[in-house]
A and B are shown apart, each in its own frame.
Chain A
Amino acid sequence: MDTHVITINQLTRCFKETTAVDQLSLEVHTGEIFGFLGHNGAGKTTTVRLLNGVIEPTSGSMRVLDLNPQMDGPALRARTGVLTETPSMDERLTAWDNLNIYADLYGVPRADVRTRINDLLTEFDLEDRAQEKVGGFSKGMKQRLALARALLHKPELLFLDEATSGLDPIAAHHVNNLIERMARREGCTVFLCTHNLVEAQKLCDRVAILEHGRLVALGTPAELTRQYVCRLDVEIEVPPEQIPTTLSILRSLPKLVLGEPAQPNGALVATINKYESIPEVLACLVQNHVRVYRLAPQEANLEQVYFRLHEEKEGVQ
């Protein structure tokens, strides 16, 4: 059995002179939360539109849920849910009316409509506002309602395009928890487009990084940080009177310690050229009678991967 929910091969989409998606090839596995990262205009939304058969590719091929989006658009969209970047709700209608209309559009069995809407409104903490017009909702509430709408028909594959964009940290946290809960509990695959790297690191099983429509990296967050982040920061705790000695020792190791060690909040932070150099640095300090209480490498993250790739692409030193 094919475990790929999405298979994309050399997919390209051009708009006049601009190539929005450029020879993209990747696979998304069943049940994973797949992060699709890139800055604004990198081609994330265009890819979602292509994968749902809303627009046609210039070249290349794709299979989604074993269907061809170009040929089987309506059948495919009956099995996918999409949360668009803007909530795209009819603001003159109530929350209930918005969901009720989309339940008809997605073909939710008539007998289940009422229960399904009530369950989702409760799940998303909107049951008290069901009969209020959406125009009076906060952005976070609209986003939760849009997420409820995307889940009305219990999709097998959920596309989330900047799901937390413009939300305050608490509302974003709430939406992220809902996404994770839905994905893990309902078992649906999530294709998460975002430029929020912390969010991607926390939620995603695998991520793809897109630059100007081209795929520049693909893997788990851990794989990518290992692959792309060579240097790492280490926090070194020594007695306060030994800090000047420690600084001069670190400065005397220019091949191992990159740049000037910093001293935020009293602790020393040095950037080491690679993970394997940690024992050498520690040995040097100990040989010079520095009493090292703690030497803690800090976890590399997707943000560092992203900036490294961006710098490479833009030719920034």
Chain B
Amino acid sequence: MKGRAIFAIIRKDLKVVLLNKGLVVPLLITVLVFFVVLPGLSALIPGLVNSFNPDAGEIEELIRRMQPGLQQELSGLNMSQKATVFLLVHMMAPMFLMVPLIVATTVAADSFAGEKERKTMEALLYTPTTDRELFVAKLLSAWLAAVATALAGFVMYSVTANTAAWSHMGRIFFPNAMWLVMIIWVVPAVAGLGLSVMVLASARAQGYQDAYQIGGAVVLPVIGLFYAQVSGVMYFNIVAVLLLGLVFWLLDALLIWLGSHSFRRGRLLGA
């Protein structure tokens, strides 16, 4: 495979996305909401705990419904600290996965279906790149964008969460080991899931919007994880996160294998 050609396509795709304000502005807003606004609100937690109930019975009740492992993790903390750790460390974990998923699907939709729609794909198909090089380059551009955004977001989230909750936590509590595993193992797999679904969706779509609508359903499993965590059905610990990552990687492998079979020069031209 020709690294120079692959790098050129990645550079082109990322540059085209970055210059598209219609894509970048909503993504930036999403990133700021997830990584700055939400953890920033944790500064308000002690006030909220007091205003709900002086004895904080409702929050106690919520935590009592959680998995025993989580209850054990929260033992020894006061009510404000319990609420902070529960919200920022556990409840937000599945929500965090939304960001690489959204970035990957957006960039992949633009890179595959968007390029078809803008009629810029044809010139690319007449270059000496092989089908495999084109496919790998287009996957990598979406994947790198998603993982880089998630890593930058993780740093922002860590700084904001620790700073905002310092008054009642009194220590650096974030990230814990589970989050580190999630960032290293699950985030790249989730990004892969988003883009591999979008590759399949783009093969059937006429344009960017079309692909985005078909592939948009990929967020449903992550929303499901969020509800499972909030309702106490599951609890994000290291083992759960490792298994979750494994499932995503296996799904990625299957979907990318299927996508690579539909990625043929002729098909991209509608032939």
Whether A293 is near chain B, meaning CB under 8 Å from some CB there, is: no
Cα A118 to Cα B121 with chains together (Å): 25
| Nearest residue, chain B, Cβ from A100 | B8
Q: Which 4 pairs of residues, A with B, have the shortest CB-CB distance?
A: A104-B8, A88-B123, A78-B128, A55-B266
Whether A26 is near chain B, meaning CB under 8 Å from some CB there, is: no
Across the interface, do A105 and B120 meet the contact criterion of CB distance under 8 Å?
Answer: no
Across the interface, do B120 and A89 meet the contact criterion of CB distance under 8 Å?
Answer: yes
Whether A91 is near chain B, meaning CB under 8 Å from some CB there, is: yes
Across the interface, do A104 and B4 meet the contact criterion of CB distance under 8 Å?
Answer: yes
Interface flags for A67-97 (1: CB within 8 Å of B; 0: not) read: 0000001110110101010101111110001
Q: Within 8 Å CB of B269, what residues of A?
A: 49, 54-55
* Residues 231-271 (chain B) with a chain A CB within 8 angstroms: 265-266, 269, 271
Partner of A15, one of B16, B123, B271: B271
Whether B122 is near chain A, meaning CB under 8 Å from some CB there, is: yes
Across the interface, do B4 and A107 meet the contact criterion of CB distance under 8 Å?
Answer: yes
Whether B64 is near chain A, meaning CB under 8 Å from some CB there, is: no
* Residues 4-21 (chain B) with a chain A CB within 8 angstroms: 4-5, 7-9, 11-12, 15-16, 19-20
Across the interface, do B122 and A84 meet the contact criterion of CB distance under 8 Å?
Answer: yes
Interface flags for B18-54 (1: CB within 8 Å of A; 0: not) read: 0110000000000000000000000000000000000
Across the interface, do A105 and B265 meet the contact criterion of CB distance under 8 Å?
Answer: no
Partner of B128, one of A74, A84, A92, A146: A74
Our count of residue pairs bridging A and B at CB distance below 8 angstroms stands at: 82
| Nearest residue, chain B, Cβ from A85 | B122
**Known: A84-B122, A86-B122, A107-B5. Contact between A102 and B271, CB under 8 A?**
no
Across the interface, do B19 and A105 meet the contact criterion of CB distance under 8 Å?
Answer: no
Q: How far is the CB of B134 from chain A (nearest CB, A)?
A: 10
Q: Within 8 Å CB of B127, what residues of A?
A: 77, 102, 105-106
Across the interface, do B271 and A55 meet the contact criterion of CB distance under 8 Å?
Answer: yes
Interface flags for A30-62 (1: CB within 8 Å of B; 0: not) read: 000000000000000000010011111000000
Whether B149 is near chain A, meaning CB under 8 Å from some CB there, is: no
* Residues 51-106 (chain B) with a chain A CB within 8 angstroms: none
| Nearest residue, chain B, Cβ from A80 | B126
Q: How far is the CB of A11 from chain B (nearest CB, A)?
A: 15
Q: How far is the CB of B270 from chain A (nearest CB, A)?
A: 9
Across the interface, do A106 and B271 meet the contact criterion of CB distance under 8 Å?
Answer: no
Q: How large is the interface on A (under 10, 10 to 19, 20 to 34, 35 or more residues)?
A: 20 to 34
Best-buried of A49, A93, A105, A146 by chain B (most CB within 10 Å):
A105
Whether B130 is near chain A, meaning CB under 8 Å from some CB there, is: yes
Interface flags for A2-24 (1: CB within 8 Å of B; 0: not) read: 00000000000001000000000
Q: How far is the CB of A289 from chain B (nearest CB, A)?
A: 66
* Residues 193-209 (chain A) with a chain B CB within 8 angstroms: none
Q: Within 8 Å CB of A214, what residues of B?
A: none
Q: How far is the CB of B121 from chain A (nearest CB, A)?
A: 8
| Nearest residue, chain A, Cβ from B130 | A74
Whether A144 is near chain B, meaning CB under 8 Å from some CB there, is: no
Whether A154 is near chain B, meaning CB under 8 Å from some CB there, is: no
Q: Within 8 Å CB of B4, what residues of A?
A: 104, 107
| Nearest residue, chain A, Cβ from B15 | A93
Whether B206 is near chain A, meaning CB under 8 Å from some CB there, is: no
Partner of B266, one of A56, A75, A91: A56
**Known: A15-B271, A101-B8, A107-B4. Contact between A91 and B118, CB under 8 A?**
yes
Q: Within 8 Å CB of A116, what residues of B?
A: none
**Known: A54-B125, A102-B127. Contact between A93 and B16, CB under 8 A?**
yes
Q: Within 8 Å CB of A82, what residues of B?
A: 123, 126
Best-buried of A53, A75, A92 by chain B (most CB within 10 Å):
A92
Interface flags for A176-195 (1: CB within 8 Å of B; 0: not) read: 00000000000000000000
Cα A97 to Cα B19 with chains together (Å): 13
Q: How far is the CB of B120 from chain A (nearest CB, A)?
A: 5
Q: Within 8 Å CB of B171, what residues of A?
A: none
Across the interface, do B265 and A55 meet the contact criterion of CB distance under 8 Å?
Answer: yes
Q: 7 new A-B pairs (CB below 8 Å) besides A93-B12, A146-B123?
A: A15-B271, A52-B126, A86-B122, A88-B119, A90-B12, A102-B123, A104-B5
| Nearest residue, chain A, Cβ from B134 | A105
Cα A70 to Cα B192 with chains together (Å): 31
A-B contact pairs, 7 of them (CB 8 A): A54-B269, A75-B128, A82-B123, A84-B122, A88-B119, A102-B123, A104-B4
Interface flags for B212-244 (1: CB within 8 Å of A; 0: not) read: 000000000000000000000000000000000
Q: Within 8 Å CB of B129, what residues of A?
A: 74, 105
| Nearest residue, chain A, Cβ from B17 | A92
Cα A89 to Cα B128 with chains together (Å): 17
* Residues 104-162 (chain A) with a chain B CB within 8 angstroms: 104-107, 146, 149
Q: Within 8 Å CB of B265, what residues of A?
A: 53-55, 73
Across the interface, do A92 and B19 meet the contact criterion of CB distance under 8 Å?
Answer: yes
| Nearest residue, chain B, Cβ from A149 | B123
